[in-house]
Amino acid sequence: MIKDKKKLARVIATWVVTSVMLSVFILDIIVVALGNKYVNQIPISNELFDYENGDDRIHFLNTANSDCIILESNGKFALIDSGEGNENPRRKTEYKGYRDEVISYIKKVASDEKGFVNFEFILGTHIHYDHAGNFEAIFKYEKIYAEKAYFKKFNEKVATELDADDWGNKATYEKIIKALERKSIPVISNLPDTEFTFGDFTLRFINTETPKEVYGKGENASSVGVIVKKGEKSAFLAADFTNDSGLEDIYAEEIGDVDLLKIGHHGYYGSSSKSFLKVLNPEITIVTNHLGKIYPNVKWNLTMVAKAPTFSTAHRNGIIASFTDNNEILLSQNIM
């Protein structure tokens, strides 16, 4: 009798698990189909670098599942994050670094007639290696310079033990600061918390001072987001903003409605909550990752709640969002 009950329990458990997995699979197919439909409604051209759509652009580089973004406006350039470097202490053999690709792209789009690059500013949104790991290599290159560098001080009260030690974030931060100091690039740790002008763009940093209520929730809670505006159009570059760190709830209303969202935390667990997307209400979303690596619940929220198309920098080999003088955001792909 006991054996029969155990057998019956196993059968029931198997059917329940199978039913749940089948339901998730079917829902995922529906979400992917709707997502593809939304994407097909937004035209995206191949980038020719002819500036037909103007020179107010956000370049989202293809650095797999890491962030490297270049702002460009009226001949000015700024670098937000650096992509994953080649010496990740956490993932030396698991992932390829993007040092050479990033430096090559920077030279391609931002060099003057003598081959020199001078960024108006650089920003490290936080010190995870997939966002900051390439800065040291970039500024070892003799022809790349920056007027100033925005980096909040690494705060061990925010970081977990993994962040501070096992993942090498503290050491990464110290190497970056030394590399910048060697080139006499001023490092500004007290980030401006009001709007400022960058070419035709108006920019604003979000989470310039990490709230104490997110201490201990990990380095993602230090993330600095960036609002980019031109005319009637705006974007939010969400770095690694997540709901589980508390940043989405804290800053959603302050960010407000945007047209384009660079998805936080590469579409991983904890990002792009329903409440966050309802407030921001983006028309276009860009993920710095492969589409297949977006978590199912995040994919669901983007498609079913925001009803926004999601474009992948990995699948598109980089994306440029051009802000035109006619209050449009036009996308182009294959930039690298």
Contact indicator for 262, 312 with CB cutoff of 8 Å: no
**Residue range 210-236: mean pLDDT, rounded:** 96
- Give the lowest-confidence range in 120-124, 156-160, 240-244: 156-160
DSSP helix, strand, coil percent of the chain (3-state; round to 5): 35, 20, 45
Burial of 39 (0-12, 13-18, 19+ CB in 10 A): middle
Mean pLDDT along residues 239-251: 96
Mean predicted confidence (pLDDT) in 38-52: 88
With pLDDT > 70 as the criterion, what percentage of the chain qualifies? 84
Instruction: Extract the tokens encoding 160.
Output: 């977990």
> What is the average pLDDT across 92-108?
84
